[in-house]
Amino acid sequence: MPIVHLICGATGAGKTSYAMSLAVRVRGVRFTLDEWMALLFLPDRPEPPTLAWAVERTARCEAQIWSLASEILARRLDIVLDIGFSRREHRDEARTRAARMGAEVKLHYLDVEHETRRDRIKQRNSTNSGAYQLTDAMFEWMERAFEVPTDDELVDAMILGD
């Protein structure tokens, strides 16, 4: 049975780096939402960017990712989803979708300290790696929005720390 690997962690936890290495290990197909958003929409982003603009485009990307994921899972291949999963509701929706597609789900939670993550974001911003530039205010907003997985979600999960 194919597995949908859900990569979960707060901003700066290293989700994308982990997703890349996991996809190689499991011979799965990786989907990283930030890469889709940067490629498809970053050049057209309004200044200043608005939450409504980002939410609508994120939803479009996720719909396409799930459409492709369905085809990949039908071929019995694993997928690695690096699309945030900052809220319990989002993780539950992914679990439900994966089950409807006949796949198992494995949560991978990257539990990394606040200061380590903040330092990583500052480093990423300074290298101008093509990822979104996050201000301190954006980081703190995302920090408050993140919902740590509950104990019942972490049963059989892969938990990684600093």
**pLDDT of residue 131 exceeding 60:** no
Q: What is the mean pLDDT of residues 109-122?
A: 93
Q: What are the C-alpha distances in Å from 96 to residues 4, 66, 76, 127, 142?
A: 11, 12, 18, 38, 25
What is the residue-averaged pLDDT of the chain?
A: 91
Q: Residue 142: its pLDDT value, please? A: 87
Residue 128 binned pLDDT confidence (cut-offs 50, 70, 90) = low
What is the CATH classification number for the domain harbouring 52? 3.40.50.300
Q: pTM to 2 decimals? A: 0.91
**pLDDT of residue 130 exceeding 80:** no
Domain that holds residue 56: 3-161
Residue 98 binned pLDDT confidence (cut-offs 50, 70, 90) = very high
Question: What's the domain count of the chain?
Answer: 1
Q: What is the mean pLDDT of residues 44-64?
A: 85
Query: pLDDT tens-digit profile of 19-52?
Result: 999 999 999 999 999 899 889 988 887 787 677 8
The residues that bridge with 79 in the sheet, in sequence order, are 4, 29
